[in-house]
Amino acid sequence: MNPRRYGYAFMRILRTGLLSCLLTGVAPAAAIDDKVASLENAVKSAQSAGDNAWMLVSAALVLMMTGPGLALFYGGLVRKKNVLATMMQSFWMMVLITVLWALVGYSLAFGEGTPFIGDLRYLFLQGVGSAPNSDYAGTIPQQTFMVYQLMFAIITPALITGAFAERMKFSGMTLFMVLWALLVYFPMAHMVWGKGGFLNAYLGGVVPCFDFAGGTVVHITSGVSALVCALYLGKRLGYPEGMMKPHSLVLSFIGACLLWVGWFGFNAGSALGASGLATSAFVATHFAAATAALGWMCAEWMANGKPSALGGISGAVAGLVAITPASGFVKPMPALLIGFLAGLVCYFMVTWVKQKFGYDDSLDAFGVHGAGGTLGAILTGVFATNAVNDALKDSTGKPLPLGLVDGNGGQIMNQLIGCAIAWGLAIVGTLIILKVCDMTVGLRVNKEEETEGLDVSLHGEEGYILES
């Protein structure tokens, strides 16, 4: 390095700047103001680009949760004669719900409308372009926000398919999912996340219910609807006497790991930007998954004398479910506790409660998502803190207390109200939809088709051709 060389360069820059100011008549202070304004604009542009990149990646991660994540997870848990039909149900949601969302779903969920459903201002995605919508995400294009939320709308009905696996008609499933999205998911999404929604804590809701990434909207609605479907359709032929073990835990293991990775987009992406809040949600998500797997496997080890791979991956998913509503509100240590409790509670639901009442929730959609989502939503009211999320402020700009740990014990009641609404909407809406579908196209395959397997009877294909 030559100090003299850099000194000469600095003097030239200084002389050029002073000469420019003298010739143009611009005062140095005004020039500095212009530079500051230019720098601020550059910083905002960089933030927008970074946030948009993170949100597009998050959208892809959440889509990966459905296909291949959930498709592999559910596909491995059924018998081999139903593997393609089961995986096809997840894939079909990626197709069907995307079209429905583009036509009317986004508007019903995120248009202003009433406290219970959005209006049609975004019908056919009119007005949804590159400009941000400051009500939802001020640093990313509204189109990015739209496609990110679409991925949630895809995976939610796909979760329900685990309850009626191996016995529902493809036509009946198609009609059911369209009506369910219109009558259950879109209204619930609007109530919790839409501007003016009844349960929206940030945009004028009557009852402020904290749900960072979908405990009520995604997991309670899908899990409870899954239970209603299982009860309405009845048990699979031969259940529980017949052998209905998973045909490939290897597929399920891969699917569960993809779900774990994809869940970072699900929860950390719900910060709607590449921020410290996204980091906090990312950490909480990972910690809860780990302790839930630990809790489930410990309970299983004590009960059966051996920890299983299926127990480990089921526990991890239970923890991911439970932390979903709390991920953007809680510190790492409460996240560990929420995960551990979810592992124990969901293990109890899947083993003891399911056996006690004898319902055939084929792949435990209710035991994991319904129970885990409810537990997580309630515990959010306990552990939510403004030390993590300070977006809610009073008139002086001071962060408001969020949960019990902040001294706001009343938030637990708000969470319970949110859970009750999600349960009620899912039960009533699903029962009505099932009845309509049953009366029109029918729901359950006949005995011959169920015995043969849905791969061949519904799709004319086989998942495995083992001819030598």
310-346 tens-digit pLDDT: 999 999 999 999 999 999 999 999 999 999 999 999 9
In a domain, 164, yes or no: yes
In a domain, 267, yes or no: yes
Q: Which two tokens stand for residue 85?
A: 């039909």
Contact 361, 166 (CB under 8 A): no
| Positions in the chain short of pLDDT 50 | 1, 3-11, 13-14, 17-19, 21-23
Q: What is the pLDDT of residue 14?
A: 43
In a domain, 371, yes or no: yes
In a domain, 17, yes or no: no
Contact 384, 425 (CB under 8 A): no
Give the residue among 111, 129, 128 at the shortest CA–CA distance from 120. 111
Q: Residue 447 class from Cβ within 10 Å (0-12 exposed, 13-18 middle, 19+ buried)?
A: exposed
Q: What is the pLDDT of residue 7?
A: 47
Q: What is the pLDDT of residue 206?
A: 97
- CATH number assigned to the domain comprising residue 398: 1.10.3430.10
Contact 149, 110 (CB under 8 A): yes
Q: What is the pLDDT of residue 44?
A: 78
In a domain, 125, yes or no: no
In a domain, 159, yes or no: yes
Overall number of domains in the chain: 1
pTM, whole model, 2 decimals? 0.92
Could you report the per-residue pLDDT of 393-408, keeping only the tens digit for each? Answer: 999 999 999 999 999 9
Q: What is the pLDDT of residue 29?
A: 72
Rounded-to-integer distance, Cα 265 and Cα 57, Å: 7
Q: What is the pLDDT of residue 2?
A: 52
Q: Which two tokens stand for residue 364?
A: 């435990």
How many of the other CB atoms lie within 10 Å of CB of 432? 13
Q: What is the pLDDT of residue 28?
A: 67
- Helix or strand or coil: residue 109? helix
In a domain, 104, yes or no: yes
Q: What is the pLDDT of residue 18?
A: 43
| Full residue range of the structural domain in which residue 259 is found | 48-112+139-459
In a domain, 37, yes or no: no
Q: What is the pLDDT of residue 63?
A: 98
